[in-house]
Each structure stands twice: as structure tokens, then as C-alpha cells.
């Protein structure tokens, strides 16, 4: 268990350059960088406590966005887990941002038509409301699988959508983002190389190099699914 704990603690540094459990999007809206933690749900409460404990040591609460699954697997609605919801509210009071990550996270649930996307979104927002969580400003589709119809639905609800390579704003602007993924349930053997890559990416957004940003009208892009 001790070595596993070391891996979890070290993975935090990798979050500065992204992971499946957290991806930063280097866009002006986030400043130099952001820590985006995916798959936040009651089943990962212990891991979330460990990760946020490390984040707190570096006073990066305001840079951290927690992407919450409202009903993970269709079996874990947030309202059934009051201790977890209270922990999320505590994190919000500390400066963390509570955001939306699909509804059940099953399959490509937002690669769908507009009616289905509206239904899924309303279910997710409804779960947030029942739990007293804030209205989300950002959304990431599970597996980044997102149809153009679903994207339009989300933007119509004044929610900014983060894709794998672009971020889509409700006002119609689109910006390219430098998303880097270095970890996926990382084991110790792969940690040194991935950590080095993450540190390099972190330095690049601290002033040693710049990332290009693209602003243009909202038109179908390469990561939209038909």
C-alpha cells in the first residue's frame, strides 16, 4: 500500500500536464493551466480525497476542476451518497470547481441525437439540483464522444464544452487546446518518463514557450461525430 500511495501522490504532478483522471486545457480562460479531474463519483471517494489532499498542499484548489458523473453506471445517483456530496460541497468552498462529466458515463452516451442529449443533460442537471450542487460551467463528454447535435444542446444551456483538441464556447467561439495525456492508471514503472514529460509541459505554460490559440466561428470540426 505504501508504494501505491507514492504513485498516487506523484500522479498529481502529472495532472499538471494531463491524465484520464485529470486533463488540463491550456486556454486563456484557465490562465496558465488547469487541473481537470475526470470520473469523479462516489466509487472513487478515497482516491479523490488522496488526490485533493496533495492539491491542497500546493494551494491549487482554484485551478482544479472536478468533472462529476451524476449517476455512474446508471447505478450510483449522487443523491444516494450524502457523504460524498457533502465532500464535494466542502471542496467547492475551498475553491474547487464542480463540473459535469456526462450522466452515466456508459458507452458513447452523448454521441446521440438532440432529443436524447437533452434528456441526458436534464437528468444530469437534475441530479446536481437535488444535491444542491452548483450549475456547471463546463462539460466533458465521456470518452470525448460527442455528436454535433449534442454539442448544440449543451451550448444552448450556456455550458462550455471541452473536447480533446478544442474548447467550444456558448457564444460560438472555438479555441484550440493543448491537451496532453500522460497517465492512465499509471504504474510505478512508467512513472519517471511520464513525470518528465508532464514537467516539460508544465514549464511550457509557465512562460518558456507559448501555445497557439485559434478563435473562429463555430463550424463542424474534426472531433465532432456525425
In this prediction, residue 179 carries a pLDDT of 65
Question: Above 50 in pLDDT, residue 139?
Answer: yes
Residue 54 has a pLDDT of: 85
| Residue 169 · residue 177 · CB < 8 Å | no
- Rounded to whole angstroms, the Cα distance separating 214 from 223 reads 15
pLDDT for residue 93 is more than 90: yes
pLDDT for 213 equals 30
Mean pLDDT of the chain, nearest integer: 78
What does the pLDDT read at residue 81? 97
Q: What is the pLDDT of residue 9?
A: 32
pLDDT of residue 217 exceeding 50, the answer is no
| Averaged pLDDT, 143-170 | 94
Q: Quickly count: other Cβ atoms within 10 Å of residue 85's Cβ.
A: 20
C-alpha dihedral sign at 212, 217, 219, 223: positive
Give me the pLDDT at residue 181, please.
Answer: 59
What is the total residue count of the chain? 226
Per-residue pLDDT for 138 more than 70?
Answer: yes
| 101 and 39 Cβ atoms separated by less than 8 Å | yes
pLDDT tens-digit map of 94-126: 999 999 999 999 999 999 999 999 999 999 999
Contacts of 14 (CB under 8 A, 6+ apart): 182, 183, 186, 194, 195, 198
N- to C-terminal Cα separation, the chain: 45
Amino acid 159: pLDDT: 97
> Is the pLDDT confidence value at 21 over 50?
no
Question: What's the rounded Cα separation, in Å, for the pair 17 and 35?
Answer: 8
| pTM of the shown model | 0.77
Categorize the per-residue pLDDT at 69 as very low, low, confident or very high, splitting at 50, 70 and 90.
very high
- Cα 209 to Cα 114: distance, rounded to the nearest angstrom: 40
Residue, of 126 and 18, whose pLDDT is higher: 126
- Angstrom distance (rounded) from CA 203 to CA 182: 15
Q: SS in 3 state form for the chain? A: CHHHHHHHHHHHHHHCCCECCECCCCCHHHCCCCEEEEEECHHHHHHHHHHHHHHHHCCCHHHEEEEECCEECCCEEHHHCHHHHHHHHHHHHHCCEEEECCCCCCCCCCCCCHHHHHHHHHHHHHHHHHHCCCCCCEECCHHHCCEHHHHHHHHHCCCEEECCCEEECCCCCEEECCCCCCCCCCCHHHHHHHHHHHHHHHHHHHHHCCCCCCCECCCCCCCCEC
Amino acid at each position: 500500500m505504501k508504494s501505491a500511495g507514492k504513485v498516487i501522490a506523484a500522479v498529481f504532478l502529472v495532472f499538471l500536464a494531463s491524465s484520464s483522471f485529470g486533463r488540463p486545457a491550456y486556454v486563456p480562460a484557465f490562465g496558465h493551466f488547469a487541473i481537470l479531474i475526470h470520473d469523479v463519483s462516489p466509487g472513487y471517494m478515497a482516491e479523490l480525497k488522496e488526490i485533493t489532499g496533495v492539491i491542497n498542499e500546493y494551494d491549487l484548489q482554484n485551478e482544479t476542476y472536478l468533472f462529476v458523473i451524476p449517476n455512474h453506471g446508471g447505478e450510483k445517483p449522487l443523491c444516494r451518497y450524502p457523504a460524498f456530496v457533502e465532500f464535494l460541497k466542502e471542496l467547492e468552498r475551498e475553491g474547487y470547481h464542480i463540473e459535469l462529466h456526462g450522466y452515466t458515463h456508459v458507452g458513447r452516451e452523448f454521441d446521440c441525437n438532440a432529443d436524447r442529449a437533452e434528456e441526458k443533460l436534464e437528468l444530469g442537471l437534475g441530479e446536481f439540483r437535488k444535491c444542491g450542487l452548483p450549475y456547471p460551467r463546463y462539460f466533458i463528454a465521456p470518452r470525448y464522444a460527442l455528436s454535433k447535435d449534442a454539442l448544440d444542446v449543451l451550448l444552448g444551456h450556456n455550458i462550455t464544452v471541452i473536447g480533446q483538441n478544442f474548447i467550444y464556447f456558448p457564444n460560438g467561439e472555438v479555441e484550440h487546446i493543448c491537451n496532453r495525456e500522460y497517465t492512465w492508471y499509471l504504474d510505478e514503472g512508467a512513472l519517471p518518463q511520464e513525470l518528465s514529460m508532464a514537467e516539460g509541459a508544465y514549464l511550457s505554460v509557465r512562460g518558456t514557450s507559448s501555445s497557439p490559440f485559434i478563435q473562429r466561428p463555430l463550424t463542424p470540426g474534426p472531433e465532432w461525430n456525425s
